[in-house]
Amino acid sequence: MSELLPILEQYPLENGILSSVATPASEWVEALRTRLKYFLVLDSRVELPVEVRYLTPETLGNDRIAAAVGANFLQPGKDVLIIDAGTAITYEIVEASGVYLGGNISPGMTTRFRALHQFTEKLPLVREQEWIPWMGTSTETAIQAGVVNGIVYEMDGYIYEMRKKYPGIFVFLTGGHSFYFERRLKNSIFAAINLVLVGLNRILEYNVKRQ
């Protein structure tokens, strides 16, 4: 709360949207609701500018749907694949018609490093490095090469398969590790670190106009 109030006092904000992968703090909700002209908490009941065909929308992460909305907004009328490289790596598909079909979830880079360390007896905890060999020559480089190159092959594989189904598909790469993988992928992609924020703003504008 100490971080939020100075922002609300400094800027003449009228509208706002709150999104969290956890339950948002009640004091934040109350502060925003009382100070903003229009305030929205993103959940599965919020109207979206895309059609969602996910079978369990109540379990769909806000970051995933926001990224999908952002990609559809930035590339309207195009099939888009969104790769979000963070704690988890998610792959989302939005068709040119504006239909969000769903996506896949796999462990992110840091999660894979930690899992190898925590669930094996002798493997050390390592971190990503700028230079990664194609084949490891020590246990540390073997883990780094296995994790990083495995993710690259995974991403390239998704892009390859999606381009067979959607030949003109536009690929967004976002998330905390987006720039780390951008230069390692063989396929042409567009790195958009703020894609989720773009999507949240689009969702907010869409709902404000519907009032």
Catalytic residue set? 63
Which amino acid does the sequence have at 197? Answer: L
Q: 92: buried, middle or exposed (CB in 10 Å: 19+, 13-18, 0-12)?
A: buried
- E strands within 44-96? 51-52, 80-85, 88-94
Are 202 and 49 in contact by the 8 Å Cβ rule? The answer is yes
Contacts 24+ apart (CB under 8 A), 73-79: 73/49, 73/198, 73/199, 73/202, 74/172, 74/192, 74/195, 74/198, 75/170, 75/172, 78/168, 78/169, 78/170, 79/166, 79/168, 79/169, 79/170
- How far apart CA 96 and CA 166 sit, in angstroms, is 10
